Amino acid sequence: MEIYLDNSATTIVCPEAAEAAMQAMTDNYGNPSALHSNGVRAKQLLEQSRQKVAAVLGALPEEVLFSPSGTIANNTAVIAAVNMRRRRGSRIVTSSVEHPSVARVMDQLEAKGYDIVRLKPKLNGAVDPEEIMNAVNEKTILVSLMYVNNETGAINPVEYARKAIKAAHSMALVHVDAIQAFGKMSVKPRRIGADFLSISGHKIHAPKGVGALYVKKGLIPPCHIYGGGQENGLFSGTENMPAIAGFGAACEVLPDPLTSQREMKKLRRRLLTKLSKIPTILINSPNDALPNIINMSILGMPSQVLVNFFSERGICISAGSACKKGHRSEVLTQLGYTPIRIDSAIRVSLSRYTTEEDIDRFVEVAIEASNKLRYREF
């Protein structure tokens, strides 16, 4: 039986989400913009799903806009924020370990003349709050930080973005990429001072093809995707109702974050304890990381070979980030690890469906892999 430990890449669709998606495909399958009875039912389903997502965020339903993916939500948030504040300055504060859906946008903005300040993480993988405070000045127009790093699980002190903006008397906006955090820990945009916050459905056992962008009430971001004006004009195009219905259903059955983290910590502790006596296995994730994500290196074998080794034995893991294939991890590079350690890194990511038996089997295969390798000094 296959063991799936790549939940930061995507998750199995939970039964409730699958049922909701099927119903949207076979019953309430109308276009939400249509005025006939099936369209009206689809519109009602759209708004009910919006309310379910908003409830988890502690947000107003009108502050939640559905997007085709988390990547598009991230792109849209950054570009919209910059367009809203571009006359007030040119500085943008971010980190050097953002997901490509933010990092590549920053590269494009830098090429256009914007002053991009990329904060390097500390040894624990997170950005230093003091550096956030020092980086923001009056000319800053945006602070964009990920809440949880997708490769290591490091948790950033994103609440300091708003504190820094207030201290600098800046009019900057705050964007938080909460795609890896949402559903695993408490994510409340108002509490952390976010103007924009991105999330994704398929990371929490909803179908692929849907994300959402929280936009603080009162903000009117300019659109850059033109069409029918759906989702307040920000994401034009007929809504993906099966995915949206599944997203809402998945949100409705999310476990309490504290309970979830307690269970994930037990599994993480079990994994790390069993691996701790093996000198050729090094843990790259910080101790205070989100417990769902464990990045490690099994020294002596390239990451992709390790992925294949585990796959042949029925275990699905990833080589660092599944979002970017064939490249040395920028995240682990920024943390100062050696190239050999980086090149042998893998990511194990857990979900509420992960069992102790799954962990034990992973450890067995990890030990087998370690024993088969020719040890070199790293």
Q: Do residues 17 and 205 lie in contact, with contact meaning Cβ atoms separated by under 8 Å?
A: yes
33-62 burial: b if 16+ Cβ within 10 Å, else e:
eeeeeebebbbebbebbbebbbebbebeee
Gap between the Cα atoms of 182 and 178, Å rounded: 6
Residue 234 lies in a domain: yes
pLDDT at 123: 87
Phi (first) and psi of residue 275, to 5 degrees: -90, -10
Task: State how beta strands 211-215 and 64-67 pair.
Answer: antiparallel
CATH code, domain with 248: 3.40.640.10
* Pick from 56-60, 106-110, 156-160, 331-335: least confident: 331-335
Mean pLDDT of 288-295: 97
Residue 378 lies in a domain: no
How many structural domains is the chain composed of? Answer: 2
Cβ within 8 Å of residue 4, ≥6 positions away: 12, 316, 351, 353
Q: Quick check: 121 pLDDT over 70?
A: yes
Gap between the Cα atoms of 273 and 267, Å rounded: 10
Mean pLDDT of 288-314: 95
Residues catalogued as catalytic: 323
Residues 339 and 241 both lie in one domain: no
Residues 77 and 221 both lie in one domain: yes
pLDDT at 223: 83
Please give the share of the chain, as a percent, with pLDDT higher than 90.
Answer: 88
When pLDDT is cut at 50, 70 and 90, the band that residue 233 belongs to is confident
pLDDT in tens, 178-231: 999 999 999 999 999 999 999 999 999 999 999 999 999 999 999 888 899 899
Gap between the Cα atoms of 301 and 370, Å rounded: 9
Gap between the Cα atoms of 10 and 65, Å rounded: 21
Per DSSP, helices labelled H in the chain are 15-26, 37-57, 70-85, 100-111, 129-135, 159-167, 189-192, 241-252, 257-275, 303-312, 330-334, 339-343, 356-372
Cβ within 8 Å of residue 223, ≥6 positions away: 233, 234, 236
Mean pLDDT of 267-296: 96
pLDDT at 374: 53
When pLDDT is cut at 50, 70 and 90, the band that residue 325 belongs to is low
Of the candidates 213, 229, 252, which is a domain's last residue? Answer: 252
Of the candidates 224, 252, 280, which is a domain's last residue? Answer: 252
Gap between the Cα atoms of 140 and 91, Å rounded: 4
Q: Quick check: 378 pLDDT over 80?
A: no
Cβ within 8 Å of residue 42, ≥6 positions away: 24, 28, 29, 30, 31, 32, 34, 241
Residues 93 and 214 both lie in one domain: yes
Q: Do residues 144 and 94 lie in contact, with contact meaning Cβ atoms separated by under 8 Å?
A: yes
3-state secondary structure of 347: strand
CATH code, domain with 321: 3.90.1150.10
When pLDDT is cut at 50, 70 and 90, the band that residue 323 belongs to is very low
Q: Do residues 345 and 284 lie in contact, with contact meaning Cβ atoms separated by under 8 Å?
A: yes
Residue range of the domain that includes 165: 15-252
Residue 91 lies in a domain: yes
The answer to whether the Cα torsion of 106, 107, 108, 112 is positive or negative is: positive
Residues 212 and 280 both lie in one domain: no
Residues 148 and 279 both lie in one domain: no
pLDDT in tens, 44-88: 999 999 999 999 999 999 999 999 999 999 999 999 999 999 999
Residue 377 lies in a domain: no
pLDDT in tens, 337-376: 999 999 999 999 999 999 999 999 999 999 999 988 654 4
When pLDDT is cut at 50, 70 and 90, the band that residue 329 belongs to is confident
Residues 154 and 96 both lie in one domain: yes
Q: Give the number of other CB atoms < 10 A from CB of residue 12.
A: 13
Phi (first) and psi of residue 271, to 5 degrees: -65, -50
